Structure 1
């Protein structure tokens, strides 16, 4: 697969995009904290990072399926670069938020394209391995970008970090323009204004595959359940289990590293039936690991639960996107990826709010137990839904 023209560019560019996004977020959050902006300023920044991905779901999907991918990736990268360059020289909150919205709009428009061009480069049979590698590299790139951003802010300042981000986004734009991929074949019907606002094409494509539709519907509440404990984690690890700051960092590293391993392992599954079963099993394992973390009597057992949860999440993420790219027709892949990514990001925003409230009112252990129990119910509902879809439509093929 590595020999296919453009594959290395897609893999490297996708990782660079995630790393640059993470570094920029850390730099801006640290700058807001240093400027005594308070929790409101940090929350506003985080919302600005998330909202464009949610708001442009329909438009991003329509463009990914119809526009020349090279031109779209070039424009998206240059938009990100321009906004990052602006963020390097301004520091008032209002302008910062506006430029973050612009930068993340470029990110939102580019990401579905990076996901959708892969099958055209490697062929349908190798999509699963490509997606596994993409998720593994992005799983490394996100924490690496965040960590590097923090180190550079401390040593050279946030402005220098954002200038480097701008340069990386220029490289991203040039990488996109260099891809040798055909322009997508546009559907017969022209998109309406409603199509550009709402992700109707992505929803319609998924509903033609009942098993995929069930898995995606299960994915969204699972994101809420899994990410809701992000607000509780530091309190459980530091206050309840008594771990040091380094111990908290180690838990994050173990979770992220295990996710990379899980994503790579998932690449070995190629048959549709096996992929679906593995996703359902992994969702249940994530939930059980959350319950285990909530009941952990000591830091070591929490660390083990974090490793299990991370590996299972790596499997879920890699296989769900492999299924989307391999089972949905090429003309609508961008719409599907944009829809799933946008709604998932919206669920992440909801998860932070719910997790914070639950942690503040019931404590971190309870937050983990509630999230894990909800995850088990989601897994059970997904199993029943998949079996019902198979029985009624016979869509799962060996």
Structure 2
């Protein structure tokens, strides 16, 4: 299997992997530092909300930026701004200043994530997208795996400043990617007009619409656990900062394996849709089961399995989107899809901040898992029906076929 630009596929993977290492290290370090300083659920929820609110609020603007501005300009300028913001975070201990700087960082992520996502199909080509997704996810998983574990060790030894300074350096990988990638997105006005003339909208693609709703519903119900998790592991189960980091890392370790298993062979869109229903149900069940853990070590196999399903889900989603979204509109799609998912994150974080000060962490985790299973069960039927309505050949319908060649 050949890529349109193998060099760029691997370069992009390395750049994102380094960036993920810094992101996850800084995020874990912030949660641990706030918890150790006695900050309550509201403060932790505020940091998590700040990490996703810009992605939701800026989605309409970001979609236009990614589809109109040269990707090299976006990546270099935004990467430099993120590095400066993260360095500033290392110099303050004020919670609300940290929240403000996290908002600035997240504004950059709101731009770079859809930029990278829109570039990948161009680098990989229509036949290489599944394998390219697996390569990219491998790098992301390695960074995500090392980040939380490293944060737990560094916070315990040096406090918050060191991991934040390291994160500032990792953002330079985004700048390097912008300068070194040969593949660039410079969608012309004619290409945008041609894409719009097809009148493609996500609401007209039953599979993508149903998939977006189902993922958003699961994220909304389960991500309350993101706020509660640090209290559940540290307080309820008596875990150390390092153990919290290793539990977080176990999920991303599973994602590495899941991404490659998902890329093992080509599948039709209909098959991918059905598999996504099953895997999302599995994710909800895993979170539900984790609420009954009696010790930290019991979470490791559950989080490895949950990460594996999550890795496969991400791969399948990337393949489906690359097949079905017109090339000139990929920035808009990924920005708006990200906005839906992060809006669900936002609501989940807000709910978690309220609930964690009122209920036992274990009860919240169990409730999150049960609500996730129910949410997927309710949203799965439209996706299953959309998969059944797909062409037997499984290829994207005629509009999507035009996507692959555009």
CA positional deviation for 1:352: 2.8
Q: What's the counterpart of residue 401 of structure 2?
A: none
Q: Deviations over 1:257-312 (max 9, x none)?
A: 22221122111242223222221111122223233334567777654433332222
Q: What's the counterpart of residue 107 of structure 2?
A: 105
CA positional deviation for 1:123: 0.7
* d(CA) in 1 for partners of 2:91, 2:141: 30
Q: What's the counterpart of residue 196 of structure 1?
A: none
1:257 aligns with 2:253: yes
Q: 1:124 aligns with which of 110, 123, 126?
A: 126
Q: What's the counterpart of residue 133 of structure 1?
A: 135
**Mapped contact 1:61–1:335 kept (Cα < 8 A):** yes
CA positional deviation for 1:189: 9.8
* d(CA) in 2 for partners of 1:182, 1:252: 34
Q: Deviations over 1:198-223 (max 9, x none)?
A: xx9xx963223211110111000111
SS at match of 2:6: coil
* d(CA) in 2 for partners of 1:95, 1:243: 30
CA positional deviation for 1:9: 1.3
Q: Deviations over 1:4-34 (max 9, x none)?
A: 1211211011112222222333455566667
Comparing 176-185 with 72-81, which one deviates more in the overlay?
A: 176-185
SS at match of 2:89: helix
**Mapped contact 2:45–2:349 kept (Cα < 8 A):** no
Comparing 346-355 with 209-218, which one deviates more in the overlay?
A: 346-355
1:317 aligns with 2:314: yes
CA positional deviation for 1:347: 1.5
* d(CA) in 1 for partners of 2:90, 2:292: 44
Q: Deviations over 1:154-185 (max 9, x none)?
A: 55554444343333323321221221124332
Q: What's the counterpart of residue 271 of structure 2?
A: 274
Q: 1:45 aligns with which of 40, 44, 47?
A: 47
| Counterparts in 2 of 1:390 and 1:37: CA distance versus 1, 3 Å | closer
Q: What's the counterpart of residue 213 of structure 1?
A: 209
CA positional deviation for 1:68: 0.8
* d(CA) in 2 for partners of 1:359, 1:41: 11
**Mapped contact 2:217–2:344 kept (Cα < 8 A):** yes
Q: What's the counterpart of residue 385 of structure 1?
A: 382
CA positional deviation for 1:226: 2.5
**Mapped contact 1:210–1:395 kept (Cα < 8 A):** no
TM-score by length of 1: 0.82
1:285 aligns with 2:287: no
Q: Any gaps of 5 or more consecutive residues in structure 1? A: 192-199
Q: 1:80 aligns with which of 66, 79, 82?
A: 82
Give the aligned CA root-mean-square deviation in angstroms: 3.5
**Mapped contact 2:45–2:353 kept (Cα < 8 A):** no
CA positional deviation for 1:391: 6.0
**Mapped contact 2:48–2:349 kept (Cα < 8 A):** no
5 Å-filtered alignment, 1:144-293, equals 144-155=146-157, 158-187=160-189, 205-233=201-229, 244-245=239-240, 250-271=246-267, 272-293=269-290
* d(CA) in 1 for partners of 2:149, 2:297: 24
SS at match of 1:117: helix
* d(CA) in 2 for partners of 1:44, 1:232: 13
**Mapped contact 1:113–1:334 kept (Cα < 8 A):** yes
Q: What's the counterpart of residue 58 of structure 1?
A: 60
CA positional deviation for 1:108: 1.6
CA positional deviation for 1:251: 4.0
| Counterparts in 2 of 1:221 and 1:121: CA distance versus 1, 3 Å | same
**Mapped contact 1:292–1:302 kept (Cα < 8 A):** no
Comparing 128-137 with 5-14, which one deviates more in the overlay?
A: 128-137
| Counterparts in 2 of 1:52 and 1:295: CA distance versus 1, 3 Å | same
1:373 aligns with 2:370: yes
**Mapped contact 1:115–1:337 kept (Cα < 8 A):** yes
SS at match of 1:124: coil
* d(CA) in 2 for partners of 1:238, 1:99: 26
Q: Deviations over 1:11-65 (max 9, x none)?
A: 0111122222223334555666677766655443333222222221122221111
Q: 1:15 aligns with which of 17, 21, 29?
A: 17
